[in-house]
């Protein structure tokens, strides 16, 4: 790794104030609805309203486009604090960043001026369409096509597992524009509107966790869009998509540590109150060792996520390694910590009367989306072997 691997980050007073503000909103406005959102599988509208009122719904958008211009570390703090109480709600700022990041990285000024302000104002959400049924980890194998027709583009195909599909107004979609061209260099990126002719949504996916965040397929059947909706140059779509993920995988790491922190917080409170053999179970060494390991792993993951966020902000050369490492390690840790939290609550942990079983279910997806953790390890290895 480069010498930059040892660069540090520092939480400023503004960062700390932001954390407290988001925590207050999360506890007061989002936490009370989290269990119901999960139980009913409904989009967390109350959370969206609260996040919009506080400008936490899309904090990454620059001030030039009516956003608050939060840096990458601040965005992670927002997502982490929301995820402590509701992982589904944390996907509001996370997916708004995912959907708009291609525009920020490669869009021209006209595109950015057209699409970023409505998201910043909370008038629209933005999703991201890359994966397909037969092109998950192998993104270059996508089959969705976009062909020129006069001044327009016409899209045919489908995208799978699209987060917040149905509530988002806009979608960044990757499609083949040169099917016979070189693999990986024949994909372009487009902005699709929810009301574009030929665009439709599949049924809601029935999921293990993050049930309040709708997941659907996107279907394109002769979907006609104007020619000025291409993001970046023709053939650069996959490059833009992978650059986007270098930045946004870190937000999944932030979501993971938020879920884990929420589970550890609840477990700590429980073991101090639960009595067995005449004393609180927190006094047993076996329980203390579990708690120590949980806290140690959580803090290590948090430091890695924050460092990766700082590297994202600085666009450092080793971002690909650290983005993958932060997402991979934090999500693995989140799965361990939430599982241990369920164990610490015993039989109660396995019931929906307590939030840790929901947190365990929610944690699992962080090991899968935005690139499975097996793919993250490939990314890291390739960076090491360069």
Check residue 8 and give its pLDDT: 78
Look at residue 136 and tell me whether its pLDDT is greater than 70: yes
Q: Is the pTM of this model over 0.85?
A: yes
pLDDT digits (tens, 9 = 90+) for 202-261: 999 999 999 999 999 999 999 999 999 999 999 999 999 999 999 999 999 999 999 999
Mean of the per-residue pLDDT values of the chain: 97
Look at residue 141 and tell me whether its pLDDT is greater than 90: yes
Rounded CA-CA distance 335/367 in Å is: 8
pLDDT digits (tens, 9 = 90+) for 266-318: 999 999 999 999 999 999 999 999 999 999 999 999 999 999 999 999 999 99
Look at residue 3 and tell me whether its pLDDT is greater than 50: no
Check residue 6 and give its pLDDT: 56
Confidence of residue 123 (pLDDT cuts 50, 70, 90): very high
How far, in whole angstroms, is CA 170 from its chain's centroid?
17
Look at residue 7 and tell me whether its pLDDT is greater than 80: no
Look at residue 193 and tell me whether its pLDDT is greater than 60: yes
Look at residue 1 and tell me whether its pLDDT is greater than 60: no
Once rounded to an integer, what is the mean pLDDT over residues 28-39? 98
- The per-residue DSSP string of 322-335 comes to HHHHHHHHHHHHHH
Distances (CA, A) of 190 to 127, 207, 225, 349, 371: 12, 28, 9, 45, 21
- 119: nearest Cα among 191, 190, 175: 191
- Annotated catalytic residue, options 81, 132, 357, 370: 370
Element (H, E) at 153: strand 152-163
Is there a contact between 342 and 360 (Cβ–Cβ < 8 Å)? yes
Active site residue 236: no
Distances (CA, A) of 210 to 10, 34, 63: 31, 10, 30
Look at residue 101 and tell me whether its pLDDT is greater than 60: yes
Rounded CA-CA distance 82/242 in Å is: 26
């Amino acid at each position: 790794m480069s010498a930059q691997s040892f660069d540090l980050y520092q939480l400023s007073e503004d960062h700390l104030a932001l954390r407290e503000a988001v925590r207050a909103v999360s506890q007061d406005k989002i936490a009370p609805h989290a269990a119901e959102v999960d139980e009913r599988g409904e989009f967390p509208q109350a959370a969206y309203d609260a996040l919009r009122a506080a400008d936490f719904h899309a904090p990454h958008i620059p001030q030039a486009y009516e956003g608050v211009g939060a840096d990458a570390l601040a965005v992670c703090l927002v997502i982490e604090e929301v995820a402590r109480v509701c992982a589904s709600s944390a996907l509001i700022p996370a997916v708004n960043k995912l959907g708009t990041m291609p525009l920020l990285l490669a869009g021209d000024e006209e595109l950015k001026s057209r699409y970023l302000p409505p998201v910043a104002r909370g008038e629209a959400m933005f999703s991201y369409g890359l994966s397909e049924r037969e092109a998950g980890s192998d993104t270059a194998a996508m089959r969705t096509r976009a062909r020129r027709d006069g001044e327009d583009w016409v899209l045919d195909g489908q995208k799978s597992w699209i987060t917040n599909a149905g509530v988002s107004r806009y979608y960044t979609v990757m499609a083949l524009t040169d099917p016979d061209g070189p693999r990986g260099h024949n994909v372009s990126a487009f902005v699709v509107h929810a009301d574009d002719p030929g665009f439709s949504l599949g049924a809601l996916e029935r999921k293990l966790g993050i049930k309040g965040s709708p997941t659907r397929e996107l279907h394109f059947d002769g979907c006609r869009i104007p020619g000025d909706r291409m993001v970046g140059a023709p053939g650069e779509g996959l490059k833009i998509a992978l650059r986007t993920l270098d930045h946004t995988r870190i937000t999944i790491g932030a979501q993971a540590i938020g879920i884990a922190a929420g589970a550890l917080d609840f477990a700590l409170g429980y073991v101090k109150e639960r009595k067995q053999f005449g004393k609180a179970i927190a006094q047993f060494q076996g329980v203390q060792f579990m708690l120590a390991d949980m806290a140690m792993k959580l803090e290590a993951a948090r430091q890695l996520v924050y460092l990766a966020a700082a590297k994202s902000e600085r666009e450092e050369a080793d971002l690909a390694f650290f983005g993958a490492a932060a997402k991979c390690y934090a999500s693995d840790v989140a799965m361990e910590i939430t599982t241990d939290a369920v164990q610490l609550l015993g039989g109660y942990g396995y019931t929906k009367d307590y939030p840790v079983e929901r947190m365990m279910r929610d944690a699992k997806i962080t090991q899968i989306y935005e690139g499975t953790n097996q793919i993250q390890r490939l990314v890291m290895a390739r960076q090491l072997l360069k």
